[in-house]
Structure 1
Amino acid sequence: MTEPRMPVTEDELHAYVDNELPAERHGEVEAWLSVHPDDAERVQSWRTMAELLHARYDAVADEAVPARLEIDRLVRQPRSLLYGAVAAAMLAFAAGGGVGWLAHGAAASPSAFQHFTLDALGAHRLYVVEVRHPVEVAGSERAHLQQWLSKRVGYEIKAPELDGTGLKLVGGRLLPGPEAPAAFFMYESPNGERFTLFTSRATTDTTQMRYASQDKDGALFWADKGVGYVLSGPTDKDRLNQVARLVYDQTEKAGG
């Protein structure tokens, strides 16, 4: 299949996903996607996010406006605007195209995957750039850090040993999670590469890992025995998977 006569713009890709693309450009956009795998992946990620938003917010969009809000100049917004506002709020930190959601295997509940991964990526992006205060408790106080965080999150937690992947524990901190307090650990390689582990109570179990990316950051989400985990780091999937597997092996053994 040959490329279209005119380059496809990002606005046209969004219109294609939203079924608002003019009919005369539909075939050309599909031809473009067939030879531009990066754009095809972005389009698929936007569609996945749209499906998750529909699953989570369709019921809200169909609710009647409460009587107390029925005033002259307050009218109910169309559903498309509601989805736009929700997506903007959820992906406020995802400038220029949103989070690339690539789901594989058995699906976790949309809320767990969305909330965990968005919260974890947000924390990762906030703290990995910190030089003087990236953590609350330093890695040199590992025993105290583990005891403190275990007490706060409500289950025994140990900072995984990642020396085998060239990563040293920087330390950790307590954060709010989607449903309960979250423990947050940061690791660093000799060349300054940083990974973070975000873990908290979860209402879903899916031991199959699910990948998400945003700009230059990637994340792997999984949940087991009522606890969710997100490992965040560079978008190199092989490297991320290498570290995540080591974390998974240790947390699985710790959980019995």
Structure 2
Amino acid sequence: MTDPKIPVTEDELHAYVDNELPAERRGDVEAWLSGHPDDAERVQSWRTMAEALHARYDAVADEPVPARLEIERLVRQPRRLIYGAIAATLLAFIAGSGAGWLARGAAAAPSTFQNFTVDALDAHRLYVVEVRHPVEVPGSELTHLQQWLTKRCGWDVHAPELGATGLKLVGGRLLPGPTGPASFLMYESASGERFTIYTARAADEMTQMRYASQDKDGALFWADHGVGYVVSGGSDRERLTQVARLVYDQTEKSGG
């Protein structure tokens, strides 16, 4: 086969993997791949990653977007009015050697820990399933990403270097937080394993990490220098702690 007259773009390659490519361009893309082994190898790696993500997260992707997120897009409602519904989504939290349970439909005002972990796990579950659009700004634009989030959030947003744990920065996005804007960074391993870092303003100081879990996902929370952090990932708590410790060490060195 010869190359198509119209060059194939990266967006078309992604669309080909996602079965969203117009039928009239499919033959052109396949001809392109037959003559460009590097692109063919990339397409195969994307397919492998997509299959791994779908195998793990399809059940989550099929869930409706939480009503709380829809509300926040329109107007920031007082959290005490909506917490009764979302408290039930957290199964347990563990701090140090102590353990406790969040009661379903709890009437008490949510703590900073509860606010942050509910929001962070919601965002984690919503975006880790995305193959084409997991972030707004890619990791290849690191300087712009950090400057943009720092300006919008009001504190120094620094994307930690997590290569020691086998993770590479995918990119980030801006989200609504408990009291204002929040930054959201996503990392990925060669096998498609994803971790996210959610940060927002926090009135409480809590340098001891606290753990929360929701279905097959876990999160570690702490707050320091007026900023709260939540590192979210899979159910392997040892692996999650390894990643969170590296994030913690680097944010401490950078002053938060």
Q: Same fold (TM over 0.5)?
A: yes
Partner of 1:246: 246
Q: Is the 8 A contact 1:106 1:208 kept in 2?
A: no
Partner of 2:95: 103
Partner of 1:126: 126
Secondary structure of the structure 1 residue equivalent to 2:161: coil
Q: 1:106 to 1:224 in 2, by over 3 A?
A: farther
- 5+ residue gaps, structure 2, are 1-79, 100-108
Does residue 189 of structure 1 match 2:189?
yes
Q: Is the 8 A contact 1:105 1:208 kept in 2?
A: no
Q: 1:155 to 1:106 in 2, by over 3 A?
A: farther
Q: Is the 8 A contact 1:116 1:230 kept in 2?
A: yes
How many residues are treated as equivalent by the alignment?
A: 168
Secondary structure of the structure 2 residue equivalent to 1:255: coil
Q: 1:86 to 1:152 in 2, by over 3 A?
A: closer
User: What is the CA distance between 1:198 and its match in structure 2?
Assistant: 0.1
Tell me, in whole angstroms, the C-alpha distance in 1 between the residues paired with 2:176 and 2:91: 21
Tell me, in whole angstroms, the C-alpha distance in 2 between the residues paired with 1:171 and 1:89: 27
Tell me, in whole angstroms, the C-alpha distance in 1 between the residues paired with 2:97 and 2:154: 29
CA deviation map 1:198-244 (0-9, x unaligned): 00110101110000001110000000011000000011111000000
Larger Rg belongs to: 1
CA deviation map 1:39-93 (0-9, x unaligned): xxxxxxxxxxxxxxxxxxxxx8xxxxxxxxxxxxxxxxxxxxx9xx8533433xx
User: What is the CA distance between 1:157 and its match in structure 2?
Assistant: 1.2
Q: Is the 8 A contact 1:138 1:171 kept in 2?
A: yes
Please list, as runs of the form range in 1=range in 2, the aligned pairs for 1:106-255 lying within 5 A after superposition.
110-255=110-255
User: What is the CA distance between 1:180 and its match in structure 2?
Assistant: 1.6
Partner of 1:28: none
- Aligned residue identity for 1:241: T
- Aligned residue identity for 1:152: R
Aligned residues: CA RMSD:
2.2
Secondary structure of the structure 2 residue equivalent to 1:231: strand
TM-score (norm 2): 0.62
CA deviation map 1:158-184 (0-9, x unaligned): 100000100000000000000120000
Secondary structure of the structure 2 residue equivalent to 1:173: strand
Tell me, in whole angstroms, the C-alpha distance in 1 between the residues paired with 2:214 and 2:160: 25
Q: Is the 8 A contact 1:213 1:219 kept in 2?
A: yes
- In the TM superposition, structure 1's runs of 4+ consecutive aligned residues that sit over 4 Å from their partners are none
- Aligned residue identity for 1:140: S
Tell me, in whole angstroms, the C-alpha distance in 1 between the residues paired with 2:150 and 2:83: 33
Secondary structure of the structure 1 residue equivalent to 2:114: helix
Does residue 87 of structure 1 match 2:84?
yes
Tell me, in whole angstroms, the C-alpha distance in 2 between the residues paired with 1:89 and 1:163: 34
CA deviation map 1:12-54 (0-9, x unaligned): xxxxxxxxxxxxxxxxxxxxxxxxxxxxxxxxxxxxxxxxxxx
Q: Is the 8 A contact 2:198 2:231 kept in 1?
A: yes
User: What is the CA distance between 1:111 and its match in structure 2?
Assistant: 1.8
Q: Percent identity?
A: 68
- Aligned residue identity for 1:87: G
Tell me, in whole angstroms, the C-alpha distance in 2 between the residues paired with 1:86 and 1:142: 35
Partner of 1:44: none
CA deviation map 1:115-155 (0-9, x unaligned): 00000000000000001100000000000000000001101
Q: Is the 8 A contact 2:96 2:210 kept in 1?
A: yes
- 5+ residue gaps, structure 1, are 1-59, 61-81
